[in-house]
A and B are shown apart, each in its own frame.
Chain A
Amino acid sequence: MSEEYNYNPNAQKIKKIIGRMSLLILLIIVGIYFTTGVYQINPSEVGLVKRFGKYVRTAGPGINYHLPAPFESVTIVDILSLRKIEIGFRSSGVGKYSGITKEALMMTGDNNFASVESAVQYRIKDPVKYAFKIANPDEVVKIVSESVIRERVAQRTIDQVLTSDRDEIAIEAKQIIQQILDNYESGVFIDNVKLQEVYPPSQVLAAFDDVNSANQDMEKTINTALKYYNDVVPRAEGEASKNVQEAEAYREVQILRAEGEVTRFLQILERYEKAPEITKQRIYIETMEKILPDSKKIMLLNENGGTFNFLDIQEVMKGGDVK
């Protein structure tokens, strides 16, 4: 008994240590329990804090605290990052890309098909709605976008879709998708809708290319003809101008010659009138003098022209003087 009593102070001490240690452990457990309420919000995110499942407040970026389970919990939503859905193709990593034929194929208003590849970029404008009002919001964005783009494409002919109306389709689609998603209380903001590749379906691509080459052929044919025109007409114009110039030259020549001749004649006439007979004689003789030296001469000196009858004309014409 006394021995037992001797042990007593030690036992008391041990009891105390155990007591203190369990208090410490308890405090540590309680501390750990409360630290489970610490959470971090990244700069692009917000935290939606729920108490007993009910949304109570929104927390901004930084280190935040909520009461530990089962009292409070947090749902973190990335509101600033741009999200993207792809219709008719999937890009996997940088520069990697694969088309999805069936999804891209869209019916146009004139009962044709066009392949339309588009991308829709969106953000979250209302995290509370995005997190709590709609299930699978990203899937909803995709299905609504596809529906609206198809519908917009169906409003147009294939030629409009392939050429002029691409931007218009994108603008209209953006507006309508936004309207529908607002109606679903999705909390999503459509940043932009882009029609990336719009082309005829592969089954008819060759035929469409043929139209393009036909256009080029047409241009080529017309250009060849224009080349011919530009060759022929200026030549004709040149020829025409030459003709006219020649005629003008002819006119001037005719007039100048006439004036020249007339001047000469008038001067001669003036002298002639002073002594008509003498001058006439003189002119005649001078002329003969001028022309006869260079000519072959056949003279017939018979008074009554008898010799002329015996002259062999043939021989004369052949050449050789006849005396």
Chain B
Amino acid sequence: MKKLIWGIVIIVLFFICFALFTYSVDETKLAIRTRFGKIIEVNKEPGLYFKIPFIDQVETMERRIMLYDINPESILTATKKRLEVDNYVMWKIEDPQLFYETMRTLSGALTRIDDIVYSNLRDAFAKLEIGDIISEARRENLSNITVNTAANLAQFGLEIVDVNVKRTDLPEANANAVFERMQSERYKAATKIRAEGEKQAKDIMARAEKDSEIIMATAFKTAEEIRGTGDAEAIEIYANAFSKDPDFYKFWRVMSAYETSFVKNTSIVLGDGVQFLDELVGGK
């Protein structure tokens, strides 16, 4: 019975002492043990640590890399154009002791980061054009800004992992100007496309006229050539045959011409010189 009571007492005391004399530092935390405001121990690794109760104070802070999304800031470019730059910083506490001595609080650290990033960003972008800021070239500039910012903030126990731009924006008025320009550019393009269509159509139609005229003329030429060869061949055939007896040909040809020329109801005046009437006239 007594043993049991003692057992309980020992267990309870153990837990009480454990709570009073030790503290755990989580995997995600850093800790600093102070005594009367003086730093006694810095815990950069997680695990179990000892302390003197009531006298020692333990401050914990974030060990992980943290995201700080800075509010958009207005920046002037090399040609004095205004640009809204929304950037973010990845940072962590590198030296808890230094951080504790110089910053103490997270909000203090953020304000300091804000100031230094802004001034570095402003200095770097003031030498650049918008085109460079939004394009590939900014990467190099950003890594310079990261290096500079890191150098500036090392004295506060902070490590800057990255400074990056989330978005760059034109101020409202400039954005509207861009929209207007885009609009007019597109309408211009549309007009040009339509005109191009007209041009091509006219071209095709003119080609149609040209082609068909050439086709017709070529055909005419071919046809005339063919007709010519026909005529020539016929003439040759005639000439070959008729030259055998030109006089008879002439007579015979005239006769057949009469046959075809004097159609029905042709009025013919027959005088007495006509050979056909020789007998008639001669008999009188």
Contacts and interface: CB of A to CB of B under 8 A. Distances in A.
Interface of A: 19, 22-23, 26, 50, 52-55, 70, 106-107, 109, 111-113, 131-136, 139-140, 143-144, 146-147, 150-151, 154-155, 158, 180, 183-185, 200-201, 203-204, 206-208, 210-211, 213-215, 217-222, 224-226, 228-229, 232-233, 235-237, 239-241, 243-244, 246-248, 250-255, 257-259, 261-262, 265-266, 268-269, 272-273, 276, 280, 283-285, 287-288, 290-292, 294-303, 305, 308, 316-317
Chain B CB within 10 A, most for which of A151, A261, A294, A295: A151
Contacts of B229: 251
6 contacts: A53-B26, A113-B179, A200-B182, A207-B187, A295-B266, A296-B265
B46 interface: yes
Classify the secondary structure of A's interface with B. Answer: helix
Contacts of A55: 27, 46
B182 A109 contact: no
The bracket for how many chain B residues form the interface is 35 or more
A207 B207 CA distance: 34
A107 B168 contact: yes
A235 to B, nearest CB: 7
Q: Which 5 A-B residue pairs are closest in the complex by CB-CB distance?
A: A251-B230, A218-B197, A240-B219, A236-B212, A247-B223
A112 B177 CA distance: 10
B223 A232 contact: no
Contacts of A211: 186, 189-190, 193
Interface of B: 1, 4, 8, 18-19, 24-29, 45-48, 62-67, 69, 88, 90, 130-131, 134-136, 138-139, 161-162, 164-170, 175, 178-179, 182-187, 189-191, 193-194, 196-198, 200-205, 207-209, 211-213, 215-216, 218-220, 222-227, 229-231, 233-235, 237-238, 240-242, 244-245, 248-249, 251-252, 255-256, 258-259, 262-272, 275-277, 280-281, 284
B113 to A, nearest CB: 15
A135 B130 contact: no
Contacts of B130: 111
A104 to B, nearest CB: 11
A251 B227 contact: yes
Contacts of A269: 244-245, 248
Contacts, number: 328
Given A204-B186, A254-B233, A291-B262, A247 B227 contact: yes
Contact of B212 (A235, A248, A303): A235
